[in-house]
Amino acid sequence: MQTVSVDEFIRQSFDFIIIGGGTAGLAVASRLAQDGKFTVGVLEAGGTANGRDDVEIPAYFGRSLGTDVDWGFETAPQASLGGRKVKWPRGKALGGSSAINFMTWTRASRKDYDAWEELGNSGWGWNDLLPFFKKTETFHPPNSSLQIEEDIRYDLDSFGTSGPIQISYPAEFSPTHRLWVKGLNSLGVPTNPAHVAGSNVGVWSNVTSVDPRTMTRSFATNYCSLAGSNLYILTEAVVQEIVLDNSDGGFVASGVRFTHKGQEYVSSAAHEVILSAGTIKSPQILELSGIGSPEVLSRAGIAVKVDSPMVGENLQEHKALHYIFEVDPEFKSTDDLNLDANLAAAAREQYDRDRAGPLASLPSSYTYVPLANFIPQETLEKLYSRAHALTGFPPEKKALMERRLRSRDEFGQVEYLFKLGVGLPPDNSKKYGMMFQILQHPFSVGSIHVQPQPASGDDPVIDPGHYHGPPGEIDLEVMLESTRFAHTILHAPPFNDVVKQLLNPPASLFEDDENIKKWIIDGTVIALHAVGTCAMGGHAGIRGGVVDERLKVYGVKGLRVVDASVMPLQISAHIQSTVYAIAEKAAAMILDDVAR
């Protein structure tokens, strides 16, 4: 990985400049630089994250949140959450959020991606994306004894074998994992034998982005090994704007204006500027460059260059809740290491020596469940009617959202995952577990925009619109029904052998719907899966999105967006592997366009 000084960076003549050295940015930059034909520059606002224990050691996931490798965003006060702000972590380092996420490696349903294509984004269905999913990854199968012991099932042909990101099943499983699977099976949720092959419905042992050879996080910096000395990466570079030249009455992106340690610089790109700053920063940078809604730009005192009304709109994020419960003391977890210095030292010694033990493990107990599995038909019909009556959505998109709501077996609309330990035990004499509940297909949408009269370095205004208005009321009803199913999971045999007592929420809460709703509103957080703020416009064009199906920004030549913000509809999955696939597909399209 070649990081350079600012003097060396500005001396280069670049073919491509990538804004953001994150999950998508490093992937697309490395592919463009791979064959040595092009000189590629990457501007990253953060520093490096490689070599940090809180980044690389699997069981330390979550420890880097709130540190210097996290932007530390938070939302605007949410009226439907009683004025509460919600923390919004995002990676600020080489590797971006792939350096701080929870290393979960999932793909959504085939129908999730096919919906993108149905909106008019040719080439973005499941069959088109699958080769790029596989190009990203090198899958390391589990050994045969572990596969039999833990009943690990997968479709080998659906995995890649030569990509930069190393993925694997955990080498060790907690005894609670088998109870989790059997408990879901007892509720009619089947074990999914091919959970990355186009349907994630069911329960399974999950894959993680962990290199089993070193038992460390495998993240976007791995891509840099594909490129040679023609890839130049500058860290601590904060982009101020994309330089747009007026040409024949239109605009062409010619370079980037940025600051580095208080000094301002400009670098030019002969072919393209590629914006890969993520769902939060990409719309902000477009607006700072004069691309966006005239109303938003006027409030911020920014001259309008391209009237693009959907910049920063269409924000979609998974909504999450967590349940905490006391578990049988026989079950060991990483909480034990937080409470006992001797155990922690022994675990670290084992990890350093053998790359094994509690520090090498990650949660692997996942399930995705269709609403029809647990919501009464009468309640579903009422939800359908409310969804059909919604206004303010483009008809094509609304029809797809309704169809997903009605689906009985094609989408896992609510995710549940289980882990032992809670990080900071409320009572050191007891053991705890945590279950997450994550809404996959929210109806409520929000926005991300520049501050009015923005100053350099200001965070954008993040307004996810949690539970806001009629769309948010549908989300709240689905979350309400999902909490009832969560309660059922916790009492399902034999998983109920794990659960001694439900603490948050207390069991008595389930006696009253209004109390449950209040708990949902008070406890909702995000799942770190924000998408959509620079979406592909499809049939609607610039009135429905920000980029076309080749990820070119409407109204500007030589500018693309390549990151999670281009997703027009949220998917039922943790988005990491999808963002890599987007970057791989984008690189292939860019190289194809340049060759023409």
Q: 536-549 pLDDT, tens per residue? A: 999 999 999 999 99
Decide if 32 contacts 587 (C-beta within 8 A).
yes
Listed range (116-125, 340-349, 580-589) with the worst mean pLDDT: 340-349
- Rounded CA separation 566/123 (Å): 14
Average pLDDT over residues 366-383: 95
pLDDT at 408: 86
Alpha carbon 345 to its chain's center:
33
Each residue's pLDDT tens digit, 416-466: 999 999 987 788 888 999 999 999 999 999 999 999 977 656 899 999 999
Q: How much is the CA Rg of the chain, to the nearest whole Å? A: 23
Average pLDDT over residues 389-408: 91
Nearest to 483 by CA among 329, 320, 247: 320
What is the pLDDT confidence band of residue 143, given thresholds at 50, 70 and 90?
Answer: very high
User: What is the percentage of the chain residues whose pLDDT exceeds 70?
Assistant: 99
- Rounded CA separation 219/101 (Å): 10
Mean pLDDT score of the chain, rounded to an integer? 95
Which residues are within 8 A (CB) of 418 and not within 5 positions of it... i.e. 6 or more apart? 176, 180, 363, 365, 433, 434, 435, 436
- Give the tokens for residue 486: 């969560």
Each residue's pLDDT tens digit, 53-88: 999 999 999 999 999 999 999 999 999 999 999 999
- Burial of residue 301 (number of CB atoms within 10 Å: 0-12, 13-18, 19+): exposed
What is the pLDDT confidence band of residue 335, given thresholds at 50, 70 and 90?
Answer: confident
Nearest to 319 by CA among 488, 470, 530, 503: 530
- Rounded CA separation 11/263 (Å): 15
CB atoms within 10 A of CB 164: 23
Q: Is 239 within any annotated ligand binding site?
A: yes
Block residue for tokens 């959202």? 401
Q: Which among 177, 449, 529, 539 is annotated as catalytic?
A: 529
pLDDT surpasses 60 at 327? yes
Each residue's pLDDT tens digit, 515-535: 999 999 999 999 999 999 999
> Does residue 491 have an active-site annotation?
no
Could you tell me where the beta strands, DSSP code E, fall in 31-121? 40-43, 73-74, 87-88, 104-105
pLDDT at 455: 61
Tell me the pTM: 0.97
Helix (H) or strand (E) segment spanning residue 255: strand 250-260
pLDDT at 106: 97
Which residues are within 8 A (CB) of 380 and not within 5 positions of it... i.e. 6 or more apart? 371, 372, 406
Each residue's pLDDT tens digit, 227-248: 999 999 999 999 999 999 998 8
- Rounded CA separation 166/208 (Å): 9
pLDDT at 572: 97
pLDDT at 324: 96
pLDDT at 109: 96
> Does residue 487 have an active-site annotation?
no
- Number of H helices and number of E strands within the chain? 16, 27
Enumerate domains of the chain plus CATH numbers.
1-141+155-168+209-316+444-462+528-595 (3.50.50.60), 170-206+319-439+467-523 (3.30.560.10)
Average pLDDT over residues 29-38: 97
Peptide bond before residue 505 is cis, with ω within 30 degrees of 0: yes
Which residues are within 8 A (CB) of 215 and not within 5 positions of it... i.e. 6 or more apart? 58, 171, 351, 355, 356, 360
- Residues 144-149: contacts with CB under 8 Å, at least 24 apart: 146/171, 146/173
- Rounded CA separation 177/168 (Å): 17
Looking at per-residue confidence, does 270 or 427 come out higher? Answer: 270
pLDDT at 403: 92
Helix (H) or strand (E) segment spanning residue 585: helix 576-595
- Give the tokens for residue 380: 């579903």
- Burial of residue 211 (number of CB atoms within 10 Å: 0-12, 13-18, 19+): buried
Average pLDDT over residues 454-481: 91
- Rounded CA separation 93/312 (Å): 23
- Give the tokens for residue 501: 């007592």
What is the pLDDT confidence band of residue 276, given thresholds at 50, 70 and 90?
Answer: very high
- Give the tokens for residue 591: 């190289």
Each residue's pLDDT tens digit, 198-221: 999 999 999 999 999 999 999 999
Nearest to 586 by CA among 21, 29, 116, 20: 29
Decide if 126 contacts 100 (C-beta within 8 A).
no
pLDDT at 1: 65
Q: 23: left (phi > 0), else alpha (psi -120 to 50), else beta?
A: alpha
- Give the tokens for residue 80: 């439907």
pLDDT at 425: 78
Looking at per-residue confidence, does 338 or 47 come out higher? Answer: 47
pLDDT at 332: 85
Peptide bond before residue 494 is cis, with ω within 30 degrees of 0: yes
- Give the tokens for residue 291: 């691309």
pLDDT at 466: 95
pLDDT at 428: 82
Query: DSSP label at 97?
Result: G
Average pLDDT over residues 359-387: 94
The CA-CA-CA angle for residues 517, 518, 522, to 5°, reads 120
- Rounded CA separation 440/531 (Å): 12
pLDDT surpasses 70 at 574? yes
